[in-house]
Every structure is written in structure tokens, then in C-alpha cells.
Amino acid sequence: MARRKRSADRDSQDAAGSTRPLRVGEAIRHALSAIFARGELRDPELAGLPITVSEVRVSPDLMRATAFVAPLGGGDVSRVVAALHRAAPFLRGEVVKAVKLRRAPELSFAPDTSFDYASRIDAVLRQPSVRRDTDGEDA
């Protein structure tokens, strides 16, 4: 009995610390990117709009996946996310065809703010006072 319990504890730890959610997330990211590149979405707000998928985070049980998206070239990310939520059932079906999984994860979409964050950091680093400090010049 104790042996069986220890084995179950180890299995649950392996599942939580596994790389499988990372690999599945990357496969889903590639599948979504391919769907967007082919222009298979019929929603007028998404038609012809280039969308980038920067990351997909998958829950440890592989039942939920959150894709972080942004429209290329700027645009209203909240409208894109809302349109993707409307297209989620279609996208879920396409993802399960592309990624061989036993069950299709529930897809949700969130705006990717990493590009905005990187722009703010770049702007700060270009300020004269910060450049002076990073270049090593004395005041």
C-alpha cells in the first residue's frame, strides 16, 4: 500500500514538472500560426489581418491553453482577441487536427504585451541620462 502511494505521488510530481505542457504549447503555437498564415478565418475583423502568436501556455493537465496574440503592424488588440474568442471553436477543431492529442484543449486568447514592454525598455535605454550611464561617461 505504501509503495503504491509513493508511486502515485511521484507520478503527480512528474506531471506537474513535466516538459510535456511546454512541448504541446509550442505545437499549438505552430498550428495556430499556420492557420492564421493560410487565412482560414472567415471573421471580417480577422480576414487578411496578420496575427502573431508569441506564446501558448498549456495547463499541466493539457485541458486549457492560452495563446498570447498581437496584430502585426499594430492595431486594436482587444478587437482581435474578441474576434479570436468567437472563432475559438473552429480553431480548437483545427488545432486538434494538426496536433495529435487525445482531447482538444479549451482555447483562450490574451493580448501579448511583451512587445509594448520591450518598446518601453528600449525608449528608457535611449534617454540621454541613461545612455550616459551605460556608455560610462562622467557627468
Q: What is the pTM of this model?
A: 0.72
First-to-last C-alpha distance (Å) of the chain: 72
DSSP state of 126: T
- Using the predicted structure, report yes or no on whether residue 2 has a pLDDT greater than 60: no
C-alpha cell at 25: 504549447
Q: What is the pLDDT of residues 50-63, one digit of tens each?
A: 889 999 999 999 99
CATH number of 2-112: 3.30.300.20
